[in-house]
Amino acid sequence: MARNWGKKMKQLMTKTMDLPQDVMMDLPRITMIGQLHIYIENHRGLLAFTDSEVRLMLKNGQLLIKGTAFVIKTILPEEIMLEGKIDKVYFINE
């Protein structure tokens, strides 16, 4: 019950203080430009990288990106920019 109260408190603070939900709820922010670029903020680390698959750790699960000709353009502790042909983006709750 205390865990649920904390979530409701964060939601109330987000609405009251007009803060972005991704900041208060510790969610990833994903920005895609067509099928060519994807920019992910607020991830927890790079788990796997090949030219056709990228797997990132999130607070709750993982993010899997599939495609072809992937190149990492920028990588920082909580941000990554990927370039290539993006076919699919999956959220994995494991």
Distance, in Å, from the CA atom of 56 to the CA atom of 39, rounded to the nearest integer, reads: 12
What's the confidence (pLDDT) of residue 66? 98
Interacting residues of 1 by C-beta distance below 8 A, sequence separation 6+: none
What's the confidence (pLDDT) of residue 27? 87
In a domain, 32, yes or no: yes
In a domain, 81, yes or no: yes
In a domain, 5, yes or no: no
In a domain, 88, yes or no: yes
Q: Count up the domains in the chain and report the number.
A: 1
pLDDT value at 12 more than 70 = no
In a domain, 16, yes or no: no
C-alpha 6: how far from its chain's center? 22
Query: What would the pLDDT profile of 13-32 be if each residue is shown by its tens digit?
Result: 666 666 555 555 678 999 99
In a domain, 50, yes or no: yes
Distance, in Å, from the CA atom of 49 to the CA atom of 76, rounded to the nearest integer, reads: 15
User: What kind and span of H or E run contains 57?
Assistant: strand 53-58
What's the confidence (pLDDT) of residue 64? 98
CATH number of the domain where residue 31 is located? 2.60.40.2000
Question: Following DSSP, what letter does each residue of 8-55 receive, concatenated?
Answer: HHHHHHHHHHT--HHHHTT--EEEEETTTEEEEES--EEEEE-SSEEE
Query: What would the pLDDT profile of 34-87 be if each residue is shown by its tens digit?
Result: 999 999 999 999 999 999 999 999 998 999 999 999 999 999 999 999 999 999
